[in-house]
Amino acid sequence: MKLLSEEYAAALDSRDKLAGYRNEFYIRPETVYLDGNSLGLLSKRAESSLHELLESWKKFGIDGWMDGSHPWYYMAERLGEMSATLVGADPGEVVMTGSTTANLHQLLATFYRPEGKRTKILADELNFPSDLYAVKSQIALRGMKPEEQLIRVKSRDGHTLEEEDLIGAMTDEVAIAVLPGVLYRSGQILDMERLTAAAHERGILIGFDLCHSIGAIPHRLHEWDTDFAFWCTYKHLNGGPGSTGGLFVNRRHFGTAPGLAGWFGSDKAKQFDMDHDMTPAGDAGAYQIGTPNILSAAPVIGSLELFAEAGLENIREKSLRLTDYLIELIKAELPDSGLVVASPVDHDRRGGHVYLEHDDAARICRALKEEGVIPDFRAPKGIRLAPVALYNSFEDVRRAVSILKGIMDEGKYKKFNNERGIIA
């Protein structure tokens, strides 16, 4: 059977032990949704848990903070416990709070302590811009110049990073390192265990942005002795637009005062004492700031239940088979299209999406959308395709590549301007 045949894809789907989870999601049958690395689809479980929290507000009013099946007062900690296995954390090391950038600000405010010659922050030139905005502002808040204190390790090929280069930049002037777990463009997985060990050997604290890795690949943050991490929940975790973020703090840092103190970081037993001297929680809960966004966290309850049932190892195994199939099809069916697979091929280096480059990427994405395939454009010439294990099928991948082949062979993309929309 040919790779691009419906029979071949059907044979792969017949062996998919996660196939039943597709029915848990709201999928438009006329589309192939491959943008789960930007915003995951709504599941019926997430919808249900959101409705359940709305009902608790309706039923209990202010008593919802302590009553009902999901008391709001403990919700951030409960969600932290539910998601701890996804990042390989011990109980108490994870809390669901804030957003990606707000949590990074909190973690830098807490752990970035420039002293003597150790004043620099290590990052990389391929990092997501928002992380660098936060890093630069934290440097400036300390009265220093970002252009002098921020180290951005360069990529050799414009797509990936070499651990040797990152470790080589870990000099005795570096106080803290902030790196991605998975690069948002190419989908490369960094060796977080190796980088953590190298940083600690040099007296450097290290943390990771897990936005493109949580829910897509396994982590062992506690075992690796990683200092901190932070992430969103609306990509692979399918928590919904703007759903509450998460953070991890290694338990050996428990007791370190939060750099940005707020009353929801208090010891729960003392929070309503209204004392002007804060008593922080004894675990990761200390790094919350304000009142939790209950309705933004509510869908995550249902989403995490699905992950607990399906199992992250099973999700990862299927994800690799989906992206393998996608890469095979593109190489076999579009060899002269100008599309270049810029993601790592090796399984231990590739996350949950495939990154293609083409000079006409923006217009190709627009053509794909017109024909029912939902991709993700990243300037200047990137196309990200993320077949998600919980709701995408091998037939989805086959259909998407078949449509892409028609677009490229017939030049259908040429009728569009090669410009991104407001939301790329």
Question: What is the percent of the chain with per-residue pLDDT over 90, rounded to a whole number?
Answer: 98
The predicted pLDDT at position 420 comes to 81
Enter the tokens of residue 34. Answer: 């491959």
Minimal CA–CA distance to 282: which of 261, 256, 263?
256
CB atoms within 10 A of CB 11: 12
In a 13 Å sphere around the CA of 54, the CA atoms on its Cβ side amount to 8
101 is in an annotated binding site: yes
- Band of residue 76 on the pLDDT scale cut at 50, 70, 90: very high
The Cα-based distances of 23 to 6, 41, 209, 325, 349 in angstroms read: 20, 12, 31, 22, 30
Answer yes or no: are the C-beta atoms of 407 and 364 closer than 8 Å. yes
For the chain, the average pLDDT equals 97
Q: Is the pLDDT of residue 422 over 90?
A: no
Averaged pLDDT for residues 321-342: 97
Predicted confidence (pLDDT) at residue 1 exceeds the cutoff of 80: no
What is the rounded average pLDDT of the residues 101-110? 98
Q: Which position has the token pair 């090669």?
A: 418
Alpha helices in 279-352 (DSSP H): 294-310, 312-333
Residue 402, annotated as binding a ligand = no
| pLDDT score recorded for residue 331 | 97
Exposure class string for 24-38: b at 16+ Cβ within 10 A, else e: bbebeeeebbbbbbb
For 98-137, give the DSSP string. S-HHHHHHHHHHHH---BTTB-EEEEETTS-HHHHHHHHH
Architecture of domain 6-30+311-408: Alpha-Beta Complex (3.90)
Q: Which amino acid is at 52?
A: E
Q: What angle do CA 152, 382, 206 make, to 5 degrees?
A: 30
Residues 193-202, mean pLDDT to the nearest whole number: 98
* Per-residue pLDDT at 239: 98
Is 208 known to sit in a ligand binding site? no
pLDDT at 136 over 80: yes
Query: Is 13 annotated in some ligand binding site?
Result: no
pLDDT at position 424: 73
| 323 annotated to a ligand binding site | no
Please indicate if the annotation marks 234 as binding a ligand. yes
Pairing of strands 174-180, 150-153: unpaired
Instruction: Please say if the pLDDT value at position 159 is more than 90.
Output: yes
User: Poorest-confidence range of 79-83, 124-128, 192-196, 416-420?
Assistant: 416-420
pLDDT at 363: 97
In the chain, % of residues over pLDDT 70: 100
What was the pLDDT predicted at 10? 97
Helix (H/G/I), strand (E/B), else coil: 412: helix
Q: What is the pLDDT of residues 242-285, one digit of tens each?
A: 999 999 999 999 999 999 999 999 999 999 999 999 999 999 99
What's the pLDDT score for residue 421? 82
Q: What is the pLDDT of residues 387-409, one digit of tens each?
A: 999 999 999 999 999 999 999 99
pLDDT at res. 259: 98
Instruction: Determine the average pLDDT of the residues in 314-339.
Output: 98
Q: For residue 28, is pLDDT > 90? A: yes
Whole-model pTM above 0.95?
A: yes
CATH of domain 48-309: 3.40.640.10
d(CA 386, CA 377): 12
Domains of the chain: which residue ranges? 6-30+311-408, 48-309
152: β partners: 123
Q: Read off the tokens for 299.
A: 């869908």
CA 72, CA 90: separation in Å to the nearest integer?
A: 22
Domains 6-30+311-408 and 48-309 share a fold: no
Q: What residues are annotated to the active site?
A: 128, 209, 234-235, 384
291 is in an annotated binding site: yes
pLDDT digits (tens, 9 = 90+) for 30-56: 999 999 999 999 999 999 999 999 999
Nearest residue to 238 via CA among 22, 21, 40, 28: 40
